[in-house]
């Protein structure tokens, strides 16, 4: 790996951590290059703007989320409703690693960057659509297996699921407790999917 690509990778990896901890607006380019241990000019050599960097950070974060989706929501080895619970649990485990302090990067970016960047807003819409699609797919399998009624509106429920889970993540971050996410999961499985 060349120094140039190595610096780029450091900027993205460390930048993701800094942006997740401090927020997109709260993380300066100086903070990012300092955390990456690279010269200040490296940032502008690799990214046309902080917005371009933010888009790539979202893509890097999405790699991990896509892996979780494959292992849970799209995992044919698990019963469909168990997949849904496993997806919530996997996200809760991720949030718990930092004691709920930093929340979900998608929700954080939605709250602070959408008003300043149309490209970031559009990318977040694509990401949320991707998650909703995976939830919809999982729910359709549940309907096909007879775990949910044939009348279940899988698209509508998936949109509700993603929006409500993001809200639970924000409350978990604000309250520094997993209780909002645990409550969401309990209500999904005891009240909504019965």
CATH, range 49-192: 1.10.357.10
Q: DSSP state, 40? A: H
Which CATH number among 1.10.10.60, 2.10.77.10, 3.40.50.300, 1.10.3720.10 corresponds to the domain 1-47?
1.10.10.60
Whether the predicted pLDDT of 109 surpasses 80: yes
- Give per-residue burial for 136-173: e unless 16+ CB within 10 Å, then b: bbbbbbbeeeeebeeeeebeebbbebbeebbebbbbbb
- Angle, CA of 176, 180 and 186, to the nearest 5°: 145
Which of 2-6, 14-18, 59-63, 72-76 has the lowest average pLDDT? 2-6
Domain ranges of the chain: 1-47, 49-192
pTM: 0.94
The mean pLDDT of 9-16, rounded to a whole number, is: 97
Within a 10 A sphere around the Cβ of 183, how many other Cβ atoms?
A: 13
How high is the pLDDT of residue 94? 95
The predicted-structure confidence for 147-160, as pLDDT tens digits, reads as follows: 999 999 999 999 99
Domains 1-47 and 49-192 share a fold: no
How high is the pLDDT of residue 49? 96
Whether the predicted pLDDT of 181 surpasses 80: yes
The predicted-structure confidence for 69-78, as pLDDT tens digits, reads as follows: 999 999 999 9
């Amino acid at each position: 790996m060349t120094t140039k690509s190595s610096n780029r990778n450091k900027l993205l990896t460390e930048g993701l951590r800094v942006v997740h901890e401090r927020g997109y607006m709260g993380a300066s380019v100086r903070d990012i290059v300092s955390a990456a241990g690279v010269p200040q000019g490296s940032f502008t050599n690799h990214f046309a703007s902080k917005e371009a960097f933010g888009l790539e950070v979202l893509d890097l974060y999405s790699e991990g989320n896509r892996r979780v989706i494959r292992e849970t929501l799209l995992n044919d080895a698990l019963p469909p409703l168990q997949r849904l619970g496993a997806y919530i649990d996997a996200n809760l485990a991720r949030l718990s690693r930092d004691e709920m302090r930093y929340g979900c990067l998608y929700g954080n970016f939605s709250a602070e960057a959408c008003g300043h960047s149309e490209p970031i807003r559009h990318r977040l819409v694509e990401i949320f659509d991707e998650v909703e699609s995976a939830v919809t797919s999982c729910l359709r399998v549940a309907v096909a297996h007879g775990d949910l009624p044939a009348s279940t509106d899988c698209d509508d429920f998936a949109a509700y699921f993603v929006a409500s889970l993001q809200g639970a993540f924000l409350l978990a971050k604000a309250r520094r407790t997993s209780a909002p996410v645990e409550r969401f999961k309990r209500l999904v499985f005891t009240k909504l999917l019965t």
